[in-house]
Chain A
């Protein structure tokens, strides 16, 4: 009860903010043959709960690497990643999976829906791993699909939907588990510019209304306009952080 009040309070006031993601001196070096590739060389930044942040930069600047490290999909070379007060870099595989179950939703560039499942089943899928009963998860999935505007496409398979519709299913799937943080790697990268804007609006809308923290990678600088914070990367380093005031 008290906690819920605190979270609501944090979202309401701009003075009292809770840091949910804290990145300290994060480095990632790949070794290719005998050459060391410094994908990330000392990243520092933090995000507050409920903030929408985008990571922008040229191709090869390390955006995807940063996101993958934050989501625990691979381990850093050095540095700390503190998410929801937990040190992601210290977790083992099983702990990471549990952590993702509890805190993280993921939106992929290439949608990555299960081709043999309908939209509804795809959205309900992550709930299977949480041991939820079929009735309950179908109900949640239906609600989620309605809120992304796909109530007419519940029974469609991914191949029977447009790119934009597929990504909406992807968004619904990322949010159905009610995660605190959503990661998205170029969620509009496979869409044309008009659909892109629609999808981007949708993601940001939902994130705002549900008070989710959203971290999104994009190489389209225009997208920065949708967000609270824009982290600019170049050659594995933060060159600039833009703070937008919300334009509600």
Chain B
């Protein structure tokens, strides 16, 4: 018996009992739709969470701090910070981190507070000394200009944080350096900039009379770019090459706090993919550092949400189960109805396998159509939910391609399983008793 004949006979048998077929398909469609919508809400939930965490910073990034990490065996999951014991982050460690499998780039950095002066205006800046060579790979988004180059001589290049231009003010009048329309008066191309670490260069205090140290120098700097706020947390910092910053440190030891030559306050480790993050992070922790990643937080959060997801899926699954029982019932009914017919086709030479095949094909049809209709309903529901109801609620329904394909295959599979017992019964009917049946 050819597959084409089998399909057309099965289709005809379904058409013969239109209402019953319709009702069974309807059940299957509702079952499929309920499971798809439930799962899509779960996926939407995860997606929203992911976006929230992405706002905190890159998901492939691990921040390593120069604090030690208290005995990892005792505090397996929760991080305990021990402020007392510091560990060294230096060039040697950076190389060690680089060798961990799954690591794409490593960037050491230090932070220091300074003052940027432009004409009569001044702005406090949080300077991040970065390894200019690898900074590009760490997701700094530029609004204009470029990142600082690796320092070669005595010139200092700065890329300003996103807010800096708006923060300039006159230290005498405390008036903000913006014009009537709110645009900053200081601009990258027109203004000249000077950097200092000694506040006495900015504010004129009364002399306290104590022993006075010489004032810190003013440095001429080239501002080569500004960061965009799209960079998230990164946009907050003003960037400078770490070597240039170290050179400044040698001349401003009294005014630059928290720095130490050859040591880093923090190291950023970028992983090749989000899948590597947790493993790399564990490795760094085991080396005695406190490492933190957004990805770990995200995974913990998503792990918790997975239970909610399962619950949603199970609720949808109940509807599908009911639909599956409906299919089984329909198929059993049609076997009782068609007992005689089954006997006749057996006498006419229909093989056992073909008889089972006919019934399975009918079930599969119901599953396929029900699944497809259910999927259509799911898309419609999902659209309505997203646009009308939950737009503001922070919940979203997302139906990825694998879910829609999976749903149709799954509903067909469920239908096939429900059809198995009826098909087996049909196959085993004795031709003779079947013919005798009225």
| Chain A interface residues toward B at CB < 8 A | 68, 71, 73-74, 93-94, 97-98, 100-101, 106, 108, 112, 114, 116, 125-126, 128-131, 133-134, 173, 177
Contacts and interface: CB of A to CB of B under 8 A. Distances in A.
A73 B347 contact: yes
A177 B341 CA distance: 19
Given A116-B12, A128-B5, A131-B2, A97 B340 contact: no
Contacts, number: 56
B319 interface: no
Query: DSSP class of B's interface residues: helix, strand, loop or mixed?
Result: helix
B349 A101 contact: yes
Interface residues of B, number: 22
B347 A173 contact: no
Most buried by A among B1, B16, B344, B432: B344
Contacts of B350: 97, 129
Contact of B348 (A98, A129, A133, A134): A129
B345 interface: yes
A112 B430 contact: no
B1 A106 contact: no
Given A74-B432, A108-B435, A131 B348 contact: no
A106 B347 contact: yes
B1 A97 contact: no
A142 B12 CA distance: 22
Given A112-B344, A112-B435, A116-B16, A128 B351 contact: no
Interface string B1-15: 110010001001000
B354 interface: yes
A76 to B, nearest CB: 13
Given A73-B430, A98-B351, A128-B1, 11 more contacts: A68-B432, A94-B351, A101-B349, A108-B344, A108-B435, A112-B344, A116-B12, A116-B16, A126-B348, A128-B5, A129-B348
A20 to B, nearest CB: 19
Given A73-B432, A112-B340, A126 B349 contact: yes
A101 B347 CA distance: 8
20 contacts: A74-B432, A93-B352, A94-B351, A94-B352, A97-B350, A98-B351, A100-B348, A101-B349, A106-B348, A108-B435, A112-B435, A114-B341, A114-B344, A116-B12, A116-B16, A125-B345, A125-B348, A129-B345, A133-B2, A177-B349
Contact of B431 (A73, A94, A101, A128): A73
A230 B132 CA distance: 109
Contacts of B431: 73
B290 to A, nearest CB: 71
Contact of B349 (A114, A130, A134): A130
A48 to B, nearest CB: 25
B9 A128 contact: yes
Given A74-B432, A116-B12, A173 B351 contact: no
Given A68-B432, A112-B340, A129 B347 contact: no
Q: Quick one: which of B5, B12, B16, B341 has the most chain A CB within 10 A?
A: B5
